[in-house]
Amino acid sequence: MELEMHTVLAQLLRLAWIAGTLPILIASIPIPKLNFFHTILLGFARRGKIMHSSSQKFTLPQRFFLHFYIVASIWTTFLLVATWCYAYTVVPPVRESSAYSTITSYLIGGSALRTDSTTMFQRHAVWQAVFLLLLMEAQVLRRLFETIYVFKYSPSARMHILGYLTGMFFYLGAPLSLCADCALDVFYFLVNLVTKFIVVGKDHMPPVEVELWQVVNPLVRLGWRHWIGAAVFFWGWIHQQRCHKILGSLRDSRHICFPYAIM
């Protein structure tokens, strides 16, 4: 039953991403007959200065971009904390001896391979989800900061409501997709934890002992590919932050130069 639920969740997320990206792929095909579709899709994506001032129907203020990052920060933080607690409590880190015994069983044709390897794969998937959610958290928190303190949206700037809904879907779907392999397990873990808290009460809950090294160690041991990916991510993260800082300063520069232009 749980396996079926995992499959259903994965299929729903897959269909949602296909539905979201397929129109963009179709519109990008250089066929004259599809130009009308490209124009329609571009109309939904227009915002700010590239949106015609006369087309105010079904639009929202562009400053509503802030909603994306408020929702994304709350949602990603919740998924990160919940998944990390589940990983630390239920999914112990893979020990070298366990990995060694699994490899040995494989070499000698042992019968324990399938169970051990599946368990190791599940452990790896959970801690990988924590790792990816940490990167997502760094991205959405920075974007929240930039939206509040860096960008200064014009009061007249608008965006189409479909663009708004698309952005909201992205920032809800992307974090969930990063932990889709263990999302239902984390959900059941939280439900059991809350149920136990209600039944036995706060005073009878077992004490929580947190060892900092055990919280971080499984992330360090994920593998070199993850850290190369993280390095590429932060390289782009830094450059995007610099570009946004330049873009945000353009409005200030324009306001400063405007009086001199009048004179």
Predicted confidence (pLDDT) per residue in 158-171, tens digit:
888 988 999 999 99
Contact 84, 130 (CB under 8 A): yes
**pLDDT tier for residue 128 given thresholds of 50, 70 and 90:** very high
Query: Cβ–Cβ contacts within 10 Å for residue 116, how many?
Result: 18
Domain of 2 in residue numbering reads as 1-46
Specify whether 68 is located in the same domain as 189: yes
pLDDT of residue 92: 62
Tell me the CB-side half-sphere exposure of residue 184, using CA atoms within 13 A: 12
In this structure, are strands 158-160 and 59-61 parallel, antiparallel, or unpaired? antiparallel
Confidence band (pLDDT; 50, 70, 90) for 120?
low
pLDDT at position 116 is: 46
Residue 36 domain flag: yes
Write out the two tokens for 108: 């000698």
Asked if 156 contacts 52 with a C-beta cutoff of 8 angstroms, the reply is no
Kindly state whether residues 36 and 67 are assigned to the same domain: no
Mapped onto helix, strand or coil, the DSSP state of residue 96 is helix
On the question of pLDDT at 212 being above 60, the answer is yes
Check whether residue 73 and residue 188 sit in a common domain.
yes
Residue 108 pLDDT level (bands cut at 50, 70, 90): very low
Domain count for the chain, please give it: 2
66 and 161 housed in the same domain: yes
Mean pLDDT of the chain: 79
Q: Where are the alpha helices (DSSP H) in 91-182?
A: 96-108, 113-149, 161-178
Q: Which residue has the tokens 């959610």?
A: 133
Q: pTM for this structure?
A: 0.79
Residues 38 and 162 both lie in one domain: no
pLDDT of residue 106: 38
The span from the CA of 223 to the CA of 246, in Å, is: 36
**Domain end point (choices 204, 221, 244):** 204
Residue with tokens 């997320």: 13
Percent of the chain predicted with pLDDT > 70? 78
Residue 51 covered by a domain: no
pLDDT band at residue 258 using 50, 70 and 90 as cut-offs: very low
Question: What pLDDT is stored for residue 37 in this prediction?
Answer: 79
CA-to-CA separations, 74 to 18, 171, 194, in angstroms, rounded: 25, 10, 20
Of 18-27, 38-47, 164-173, 211-220, where does the model show the most confidence?
A: 164-173
The first and second tokens of residue 157, run together, are: 């700037």
Q: What is the pLDDT of residue 248?
A: 83
| Assigned domain for 195 exists | yes
The reply to whether 66 and 184 lie within a common domain is yes
CB 1 within 8 A of CB 184: no
Answer yes or no: is pLDDT of 232 > 80.
yes
Position 141 scores a pLDDT of 96
The mean pLDDT value for 214-242 works out to: 89
Percentage of the chain lying above the pLDDT 90 cut: 30
In this prediction, residues 44-53 reach a mean pLDDT of 66
Query: Is the domain of 76 the same as that of 129?
Result: yes
pLDDT in tens, 52-104: 555 567 888 888 999 999 999 999 999 999 999 998 888 765 444 344 444 33
Backbone dihedral angles phi then psi of residue 181, each to the nearest 5 degrees: -65, -25
Q: Is the pLDDT of residue 196 over 50?
A: yes
Asked whether residue 246 is domain-assigned, the answer is no
Let me know whether 68 and 177 are in one domain: yes
